[in-house]
Structure 1
Amino acid sequence: MVPRRIVCLTAETTEMAFAVGAGDRVVGVSGYAVRPAEARRRPKVAAFRTANVERILGLEPDLVLGFSDLQAEIAMELIRSGVAVLITNQRTLAETAEAIALVGAACGEPERGRELARWFAEELESLRRRPAWRPRVYFEEWNDPLISGIAWVGELIELCGGEDIFPELRGCRSARDRVVDGAEVVRRDPEVIVASWCGKKARLDRIAARPGWEGVSAVRAGRLFEVKSPDILAPGPSLLYGARQLAAIIGGVTGGV
């Protein structure tokens, strides 16, 4: 049965539902939804870890879409209330493409979901760079404590021609397992620093001013950049925005734009 009333708990699923042609059936969205602009006019029913279950139920959805194990409690409450729920839990670029196709199928648009997933993968591949010099890149997802980039970010760094300085943390699905020590960042001496503090502006000046970081190659060369979180921390089609920015940043350093 094709769902007629869809609620999206996250920015990712909102974007996917609209992109596969189900936007006219979306009746509720996350407060963090950014794309498309039309989605922001829908009723807001969720943050990320929290949701207004009573309001969701009042919208009488026949499908609720979400992302991440962090929404497990919300999903459980909705399922117990008799609502069909799909929560994806992608962490890699390949898993993101699979999630796009899955959401498309769940929305009753399987072919458009597969087409969007193929396009996403092809657009990413078009950004692949193989420079002679691959600069060391530190990606900071949060500043207190310091949290390095999730798996898909590390993959994007390498795809765009850089070298992730914390490759061993890529398999860590939880943010708490990607907490790093500032002294270790200094020791690994990144040549490029990219920050994306989820939900707030990254203060590059404060990063550069951290005690002991004045000798880091990226700080000495002034190679500190921000990519806004909706462009790189939401594993859906919007990752292309972040990927293109990373490609420009790393390409600008290596001369491979």
Structure 2
Amino acid sequence: MAQVLIQNVQAQDVPVENSQVASTQRVISLAPHITEMLFAIGAGEQVVAVDDASDYPIAANDLPKVANYRSLNMEQILALQPDLVVAWGNAQQQMVQPLEQLGITVFYSAPATFAKLTDELQQLGQLTGHQQQARAVANDYQQQITQLEQDYRDASPVTVFYQIASTPLMSANGSTWMGQAVDLCGGVNIMADSPAPYPQVNAEQVLAQNPQVIVAADIAELAHWQQWPTMDAVAQDKLLTIDANLLHRFTPRTPVGIRQLCLQLDKVRATH
């Protein structure tokens, strides 16, 4: 059984000393954003398995798949004898509790804000013995976020409906990464005040707000809005797309996705 390093490590805990993580050589990632972060900080060679959705970087595709968003392959995970399992916050806590009970170290990834991702990159660097590269990646990421904040600090407001899915119709409130990105770009998220992070809404709610732009990950997901040609976003041809892999995964690549979103909102500003 894997050596116990730290039990139930939380993202906000005090980082551990180098001597405590020297034996962390076999890591399992249970979410795509976690896999990306581990590879980005130089710990890719220590990753021995990932979840079904981990497809970046390309090397992740060659690793054993031991989980999906609903379940874990416990037999396969135990056979791989991990030193560390990195899980996705509260979303996977119940699933991984049996691993903790068996003495396997679990770190819960839960970067709720742009700043928290900087902290988490460095914590993963300490857990895997890649402090220097993790610090460099975190600094570069933070510099990109700071630059975006400066670039769009005085941007004119644009009302936005951020569409996560079309069936059912879902959006994101202001507390989510997508909502924070809209705000950073000078957008006004029409669902920002929803009590649910990812609310299910109906078309009538969106029509009533009449946003200037509707953003989704796939142009096909936006087709249903064409039945309301008088809505501003449709009339002005501002049904726009972003790369969900860049913006929906909380990784060092996220600033690229945010920049893409900001440029899409700039298209609306250019017509007013």
Report TM bin, short chain: 0.7 to 0.9
Report if the CA contact (8 A) 1:53-1:74 is conserved.
Answer: no
1:139 aligned onto 2:165: no
Q: What's the CA shift for 1:149?
A: 1.9
1:24 aligns to 2:42 (yes or no): no
Following superposition, the deviation at residue 218 of structure 1 comes to: 0.5
Selected match of 1:220 from 217, 227, 235? 235
CA 1:132–1:126: 2 relative to 1, 3 Å: closer
Structure 1 residue runs without a partner (length 5+): none
Q: Hey, what's the Cα distance between the residues in 2 that align with 1:12 and 1:78?
A: 21
Equivalent position to 1:60, from 75, 78, 81:
81
Q: Distance in 1 between matches of 2:106 and 2:67?
A: 14
1:1-257 aligned at under 5 Å gives the runs 1-2=21-22, 3-128=24-149, 129-130=152-153, 133-149=156-172, 151-169=176-194, 172-173=196-197, 175=198, 178-196=199-217, 202-209=220-227, 213-255=228-270
Q: Deviations over 1:176-200 (max 9, x none)?
A: xx22232221111110111137xxx
- CA-atom RMSD in angstroms: 2.2
Give CA-to-partner distance per residue, 1:76-109, whole Å, 9 cap, x none.
0211222111112222222222222222222222
User: In terms of Rg, which structure is larger?
Assistant: 2
> Are the aligned partners of 2:39 and 2:57 in contact in 1 as well (CA < 8 Å)?
yes
Structure 1 residues 100 and 172 mapped into 2: Cα distance closer, same or farther (>3 Å)?
A: farther
Distance 1:145 1:42, change over 3 A: same
User: Contact (CA 8 Å) 1:49, 1:70: kept in 2 or not?
Assistant: no
1:132/1:29 CA distance change after superposition, 3 Å: closer
CA separation of 1:24/1:132 partners in 2, compared to 1, >3 Å: closer, same or farther? Answer: closer
CA distance in 1, matches of 2:232, 2:167: 22
Q: Give the secondary structure class of the aligned counterpart of 2:135.
A: helix
- In structure 2, what residue type is equivalent to 1:99? E
Amino acid at match of 2:255: L
TM-score, normalised with respect to structure 2: 0.82
Could you tell me which amino acid in structure 1 is paired with residue 93 of structure 2?
Answer: A
Deviation at 1:8, TM superposition (A): 0.5
Aligned mates of 1:252, 1:17 — CA distance in 2: 35
Q: What is the Cα deviation at residue 147 of structure 1?
A: 1.9
Alignment-mate amino acid for residue 29 of structure 1: V
Q: Which runs of 5+ in 2 are unaligned?
A: 1-20
Q: Work out whether residues 162 and 214 of structure 2, in 8 Å CA contact, stay in contact via their aligned partners in 1.
A: yes
Deviations 1:5-63 (CA, angstroms, capped at 9, x unpaired): 01101111111111111111111012211321112111111222322121111111100
Equivalences, count = 246
| Distance in 2 (alpha carbons) for counterparts of 1:202 and 1:63 | 40
